[in-house]
Amino acid sequence: MEKWSRTIFFVVELILGIFTMTMAVRISADEGPQKKVAVIVEDSGNSKWNSYIKGLKDAAKANNLHLVICNTDNGLDLEEEKELMEEQRNKGVNGFILQPAVGKETESVLSGFHEPILLNASTTGRNFYGRYALVAPDNYRMGAALGQCIVKDYNGNLRDKSIGVVRGRKEDPAVEQRWKGLSDVVEKAGGKICWILDQRQDTAIAEEIRSRSTVSALAVLETDTLEDVADAAAAHDVHGAIVYGIGHSIKSVYALEREIIAGLVTADLYDMGYYSVQEMAQKLSFPGRELKDRSIDVLVPDKGELFTEKYQKFLSAMER
């Protein structure tokens, strides 16, 4: 009997010992150095990223990650992106969240990095680069939603209506997808796209629009360009065309609220930032886990419901 008690005592002690050691290992793992994630998006200081960056930061805080938002200018090129990634890798970064710079060599540049990479810009669809997960809105759907805004305002019939499209950077695959979505819907409703304007960085948009034929509606496919067109529209400088656009900035929302633009399509970039970091945090905790794609909600706020509870979180994140 005494022998049994001693055995039981040793077994219990052993179990407790293993349990204590496991807990100690887990605690020390939790208290280890914070994992670092670098975020690279073009023009990182631009206010169009406000809600995205808020989402990133909130998730980083919740997951105890150190976030490095790289300093970038507009027109981020592949060479610069590569340079930034190398710089951050040398500083000990554990993962990257990227807006991939547009270029033919993008995939081969990214493949030179062995840290986990998650992409934040939609291209031709989910998981464009095959090897990388994508957290982004569906750009085709955004373009189509913009087309539907126009169609709705003309009671479903765009016959005899002329439409001008201000596309932004045409080499950007996201813009290309939006364009496809828009043109499919417009054509189906019998509308005619009279001209397409690809804005270059140094062009004055109002002058460019003035130099084109007068149109019933203007569809703008990118945030920065939409802000410029909205300024031109506010100064009555767009030949009286009704402006619709895709935009993620608070300025775009103001333009809708003040009826400078008639329709706005946007996406919940707060969620894009939040889920990207959350996904990366899980990958860094469990390296065997695959990063997963996620499609971000496309929003089409109506002017009348902008300040309702539905858009409260969306607007407050934008204002940062």
| 278 counts as binding other proteins under rule CB under 8 A | no
Q: Which contiguous run of DSSP H or E holds residue 9?
A: helix 2-30
The least distance separating other proteins from the CB of residue 91, rounded to whole angstroms, comes to 8
Choosing from 56, 59, 68, 229, the residue that interacts with other proteins (CB under 8 A) is 68
Write each residue from 189 to 228 as x if it is in contact with other proteins (CB under 8 A), else as -, in one continuous string.
Answer: ----------------------------------------
| 79 counts as binding other proteins under rule CB under 8 A | yes
Neighbours of 188 (CB within 10 A): 12
| Interface segment toward other proteins; rule CB under 8 A; list 26-34, 76-84, 155-163, 192-200 | 76-84
Choosing from 12, 27, 87, 312, the residue that interacts with other proteins (CB under 8 A) is 87
Query: Which residues within the stretch 9-38 sit at the binding site for other proteins (CB under 8 A)?
Result: 38
| 45 counts as binding other proteins under rule CB under 8 A | yes
Q: Is 98 left (phi over 0), alpha (psi -120 to 50) or beta?
A: beta
The least distance separating other proteins from the CB of residue 186, rounded to whole angstroms, comes to 34
Tell me the helix, strand and coil percentages in the chain, rounded to 5.
Answer: 45, 15, 35
Choosing from 37, 56, 59, 70, the residue that interacts with other proteins (CB under 8 A) is 70
**Which string of DSSP letters, residue by residue, matches 282-298?**
HHHHSTTSPP--EEEPE
Gap between the Cα atoms of 67 and 59, Å rounded: 10
Is 72 or 216 the residue whose CB approaches other proteins more closely? 72
The least distance separating other proteins from the CB of residue 258, rounded to whole angstroms, comes to 11
Name which of 146, 230, 228 is nearest 189 in CA terms.
146
Choosing from 44, 216, 266, 278, the residue that interacts with other proteins (CB under 8 A) is 44
Could you list the beta-strand ranges (E) of 85-220. 95-98, 117-119, 133-137, 162-166, 192-197, 217-220
| 69 counts as binding other proteins under rule CB under 8 A | yes
| Residue 26 tokens, joined | 């887990």
CA max distance for the chain = 102
3-class DSSP state of 58: helix
| 47 counts as binding other proteins under rule CB under 8 A | yes
Gap between the Cα atoms of 189 and 171, Å rounded: 27
**Structural contact between residues 222 and 167, judged by C-beta atoms closer than 8 angstroms:** yes
Choosing from 13, 86, 187, 290, the residue that interacts with other proteins (CB under 8 A) is 86
| 72 counts as binding other proteins under rule CB under 8 A | yes
Number of residues that bind other proteins (CB under 8 A): 17
* Site residues for other proteins per CB under 8 A: 38, 43-45, 47, 68-73, 79-80, 83, 86-87, 320
